[in-house]
Every structure is written in C-alpha cells, then in structure tokens.
Structure 1
Amino acid sequence: MGQCEDQMQRQALFDLALLFVVVDGVVDESEVTFMKNWLDSIPWSNPTSKEDYYQTTLSKCRHATENDGVEDFINHRANQLIDKEMKEQALKLANDISSADGEVDDAERKAIELLTTALG
C-alpha cells in the first residue's frame, strides 16, 4: 500500500477515535492526553502539523455531534479504512474510548452501532 493511503487511513482512524472522545458531550482531560500522545506516536506525512490537525478534527467532531452529523462523519471516515486491521482497530478504539469512564451512554452506543454497520 502506498504512503498516501497509509496516511489517509491513519487520519481516518484518528478522526473516528477523536469522535468517540466527544460524542458523549464530555471531554475528559485524560482522553485529551491519550489522543495527543497517540497522535504524537504515529507516523505523519501530512503537510498540516499534528497539533493543527488535532484542533481542526476536534472542531469537526464537535460540529458533527452538535448538528446531527455523526452518521455522516462516521460513514465518510469508515469508507477510508481499507485494511482489515485498521477496521478492527477502529472498532476496538471506539469501544475502549466509550467505556473508559465506566459507562457507555446512548450516544456512544449508537455511534458504535453506526461504525459497526459502516465498516461492514
């Protein structure tokens, strides 16, 4: 697989993970730290800096959750995940992030269902 496809999948995976941080309406500092550390650890071949990408994606995630756009957000990113391993990682991250606070609320549950369907 080419470097562009790899970067596209990494970004889609990050976008989805960050969505699951904000989808319940509560962003915990430990979640922010986790996401920033994870972003720092992955290879990056995008001209946009990681910090700028994080901030832009966070804004898009909030917009999606506040404007009934979660399904479209999930579908768009899920379509960019090509590798089976990336799809599996997306579902694992969604479940892990959603249950990190000890409770999976309705918004998180619905988003997990949407992601599961979108990934086929």
Structure 2
Amino acid sequence: MKFEQLLSHFDTGICIDQLQKESLLDLALLFIGVDGKIDDSEKRVVYEWANQLQWNSTIALEDYFEDSLSKSVLAVQQNDIESFIQHRMHHVVDEPMRKFVKELVIKVIEADGVVDDAEKRALAVLEAEL
C-alpha cells in the first residue's frame, strides 16, 4: 500500500511540475502577441527556453507551443489578458518559478527592441499576481 501511495505522490508531483511548465509557457507565449503582433525575435526567446524543458506530456512540445500561441492570440483579441494571466499564475505554485516567469516575459517583450504600452499593462497584471 505504501508503495502505491509513493507512486501516487510521485505522479502528482510530475503532474504539478508539468502544469507549472505549461502555465509558464502559456504566459511566455501570451507576451509574444500581447502587443498585437507576433514577432520572430520574441518567439525565438520562448522557443529556445521551451526546448530546454523536460517536457512530460503526451502532447508534443511543438504542438503545445502552436496551440497555446493560438489561444493567447485569441485572449489578446478578446481583451481577456487579465484572466488569462490570473488563471495561469494560479498554477505556478513554486516561488522560484513565480520569480522566473517575470524574468522570462521581460526577455520576451524586450526581444524586439520595443516595449509598448500593451506589454507594460500586461506586465503590471502579471506583477500583481506575484
């Protein structure tokens, strides 16, 4: 019985870790398009970071990347940025990851050399969740 509990806790740990990775990736992808355009330099920052992850999902990283990018573009178009950020930040429970997400999105929004007002507003929403 204890072995089964150990496996269950191990599986839960993997699931929580993967959910945090997915949430971090979702947030980084949101910040690619939060200014209303998809910039290749911003996309490259996220793609290079994502390829370093230990991805533990049945969904391939590339497929998740494209699907999540589409969802983040939709959130921007529907002016649903705040709830998108709040929902993802709810799943980022480790303090080091919470700090890292801010560093990551700053790298993303600075990658194209221009940080516009929409990016600043979205960053303020993210900071309020930290």
Whether 1:68 and 2:79 are equivalent positions in the alignment is yes
> TM-score normalized by structure 1?
0.92
User: What's the offset of the Cα at 1:27?
Assistant: 1.6
What does residue 101 of structure 1 align with? Answer: 112
Distance 1:113 1:36 in 2: 23
User: What's the offset of the Cα at 1:55?
Assistant: 1.1
RMSD: 1.4
What does residue 31 of structure 1 align with? Answer: 42
Question: What is the CA deviation profile of residues 14-33 of structure 1, one whole-angstrom value per residue up to 9, with x for unaligned ones?
Answer: 11011111101122222223
Q: Which stretches of structure 1, 4 residues or more, deviate above 4 A after TM superposition?
A: none
Question: What is the CA deviation profile of residues 62-83 of structure 1, one whole-angstrom value per residue up to 9, with x for unaligned ones?
Answer: 0000001100100000111101
Whether 1:110 and 2:116 are equivalent positions in the alignment is no
Distance 2:127 2:79 in 1: 18
User: What's the offset of the Cα at 1:94?
Assistant: 1.7
Q: Which has the larger radius of gyration?
A: 2
Mark the runs of 5 or more structure 1 residues left unpaired by the alignment: none
Question: What is the CA deviation profile of residues 76-106 of structure 1, one whole-angstrom value per residue up to 9, with x for unaligned ones?
Answer: 0011110111011111112221222222111
* Structure 2 residue identity aligned to 1:30: S
* Structure 1 residue identity aligned to 2:121: K
Q: Once structures 1 and 2 are overlaid, which stretch shifts more, 6-15 or 33-42?
A: 33-42
- Alignment of structure 1 residues 76-87 onto 2, 5 Å: 76-87=87-98
- 8 Å CA contact 2:85, 2:125 repeated in 1: yes
What does residue 14 of structure 1 align with? Answer: 25
* Structure 2 residue identity aligned to 1:55: E
